[in-house]
Chains A and B, each alone.
Chain A
């Protein structure tokens, strides 16, 4: 069955196609540009598309978190690191030879093709007849504080260690004059 172009389903389908295009375009910009700051911008564009895909997967909360954490925090942090440690653009441009780029493309393409082939031709288990809940934000909060509370606490310890460790690492080489 094919919904008409101007029904709500058809418009949602068009938006979905646009989101797929945005994601792939962002991934191309993130991997193929020469300047790193452009590739961070491409990464942000790609994550906006991925957040849209999450929205289509019935989880607006995860989509919002994707925007908040990846676009808002990770990309900005990478941009700051680029400002602090700018690589030599001319040397980088010379170093990317055509052969290594081609080999990398073959490798990545082969892995993507194999994964896609396995995904399409594999037999997954049947969809469940009844869901345990509706997967809403309320249910996520309840699971986080009951069934996954231990993992939740562990992840906060990991984040704490990451904060302290990154400060210690970045400060390490600084000499007292």
Chain B
């Protein structure tokens, strides 16, 4: 149990678990912000996979770290854009629940 930190499988399974939690939250949450939180979990699961392969299998150990930094930048941009979409939706519908947003033409 104490040598888990030096095995590739531990990190891969952690990434899979976070991904599964993200999908679970994405399907279960009735509001847009809750779904955004779940998407962040999915992204961090993917990042953990990149970092694990970078540490154990990559010949050049900077590649995975740089990809993870880019994933963080994309995730930050995605969070900013989607939160402003959420606020715009809230201003028009007075609700951020997905079931209320069924009209295509505003």
Check if A and B associate. Answer: yes
Residues of A within 8 A of B (CB): 1-3, 5, 9-10, 12-14, 16-17, 20, 23-24, 27-28, 30-31, 36, 39-40, 43, 46-47, 50, 53-54, 56-59, 61-62, 65-66, 69-70, 73-74, 77-78, 80-82, 84-85, 87-88, 91-92, 95-96, 100-101, 103-105, 107-109, 111-113, 115-116, 119-120, 124-125, 127-128, 130-135, 139-140, 143-144, 148, 151, 155, 158-159, 161-163, 165-167, 169-170, 172-174
Instruction: Report chain B residues within 8 Å CB of A100.
Output: 27-28
Instruction: Report chain A residues within 8 Å CB of B62.
Output: 133, 135, 139-140, 143
Known contacts: A95-B99, A108-B27, A169-B88. The answer to whether A57 contacts B81 by CB under 8 A is no
A17 touches B60 (CB 8 A): no
A124 CA / B105 CA spacing, docked (Å): 49
Q: Measured between C-beta atoms, what is the minimum distance from B75 to chain A in Å?
A: 7
**The residue from A62, A113, A128, A162 contacting B68, defined by CB atoms under 8 A apart:** A62
Q: Is B101 an interface residue (CB 8 A)?
A: no
Instruction: Report chain A residues within 8 Å CB of B24.
Output: 31, 104-105, 107-109
Total count of chain B residues near the partner, CB < 8 A? 79
Q: Mark B38-75, 1 if CB is under 8 A from A, else 0.
A: 10110010011001111111111111011011101111
B97 touches A91 (CB 8 A): yes
A3 touches B20 (CB 8 A): no
Residues of B within 8 A of A (CB): 1-5, 8-25, 27-31, 33-34, 36-38, 40-41, 44, 47-48, 51-63, 65-66, 68-70, 72-81, 83-88, 90-92, 95-97, 99
B66 touches A69 (CB 8 A): no
